Amino acid sequence: MLKNLGKYIFMIELGYKYIHVFKKTYFHPFISQKPAYTQLSLDRQAYSNRVLEFLNVEVKVVGNVPTQDKILYAINHRSLLDIIVMEHIFSKHNKSGVWIAKKELFDAFYGKFFKYSGCMSVDLDHSRGLLSFFKLLKSTLSRVDNLNVYIFPEGERHKDEGIKEFQNGAAKIAKANNLDVVPVYINEKLEAIFKDAPYKETKIIEVHFGDMIEHHNLENGYKEHFNRVKENR
C-alpha cells in the first residue's frame, strides 16, 4: 500500500513542479514555435526520465528510430506509462514532438500538465472542433520543420491482448499533412509493470519500432507489425 502511494505522490509532486517549468516556455512572450516545442519536448522528456529512474524501469528499443522528422508515430495504448516510456525513447534520439489527446483529458485534474507541456487537444464530438484542430496542426507543422506527431490510434487504453480497431483520426492527420507513419508496439502490459513498481532489480521492457507505412494502409500496416512482433517472441 505504501509502495503504491509513494510512487503516486512522487509522480504528482514532480508533475506539478514541471507544470511550472512548462509555463515558462508556454507563456514566454518572445519565443517562436520551433524553439518552444523543442524546449517543451525536452522538459517532458526530463520528467519522464526521472519517473522511470524512480520506478527502476529501463527501456529496450527493438528496431530503428528514424533519423528524419515530420513523422507520425502510431503507438498502442495500455497504460499511463506509455507516454513516459515513449518520451524516454525520444529523449535518446533528439526528437521534438506533439501529443494528440482527446479534449476531455485536458479537463481532468492533470489537464494542465497536458496543456502547458505542448500537447494538442482534439474535440471529437463537434465538427467545428475537429476543423479547428486540423487547421492548428497543419499551421504548426508548417512552422516547425522538425516536429513529429505522437498518437494512440486506438483512441483509448486497451488492457487486453491484441489491438483494438483504430479510430480514423491518425490516418486523416497523416494524409492531411503528408506525414510518413511509423508503427510502434509496446510489448509489455505496462499497467501491471506500473502496479509492481518501483523495482529492487531493474525491470526491462521492450518497445518495437516498425518500418514506415503509408497513411492509407495505417491500420493494416500496424497489424502486420504487431503480428511480426508476436511471431518473433
Give the DSSP H/E element, type plus range, for residue 11. helix 2-26
Between CA 67 and CA 64 the distance in angstroms is 9
Residue 123 near residue 28, CB atoms below 8 Å: no
- The residues facing 120 across adjacent strands are 100
Q: pLDDT 10s digit of each residue in the chain, 233 long?
A: 556 778 889 999 999 999 999 999 999 999 999 999 999 999 999 999 999 999 999 999 999 999 999 999 999 988 889 999 999 999 999 999 999 988 888 887 788 999 999 999 988 667 777 889 999 999 999 999 999 999 999 877 666 677 888 888 899 999 999 999 999 999 877 778 888 899 999 999 999 999 999 988 899 999 999 999 988 77
Residue 205: the pLDDT is 93
| pLDDT value of residue 90 | 98
For position 151, what pLDDT does the model report? 95
The structural domain count of the chain equals: 1
Return d(Cα 38, Cα 189) in angstroms, integer.
Answer: 30
Rounded to whole angstroms, the Cα distance separating 95 from 48 reads 14
Distance from C-alpha of 98 to C-alpha of 96, rounded to nearest angstrom:
7
Q: Which domain holds residue 50?
A: 2-231
Any bridge partners for residue 207, and if so which? 61, 186
pLDDT in the model for residue 230:
87
Residues in the chain: 233
By C-alpha distance, which of 168, 106, 166 is closest to 134? 168
The model carries a pTM of 0.94
Distance CA(212)–CA(20), nearest Å, equals 36
Q: Is the distance from CB of 174 to CB of 216 less than 8 angstroms? A: no
Residue 5 is predicted with a pLDDT of 79
- CA distance linking residue 172 with residue 194, whole number of Å: 32
Q: Quick check: 52 and 86 in contact, CB under 8 A?
A: no
The single-letter code of the amino acid at 77 is: H
Between CA 50 and CA 9 the distance in angstroms is 14
CATH number of the domain at 216, please: 3.40.1130
Task: Tell the residue number behind the cell numbers 508496439, with chain if given.
Answer: 185
Q: How far apart are CA 83 and CA 106, in angstroms?
A: 15
Beta bridge pairs of residue 99: 150
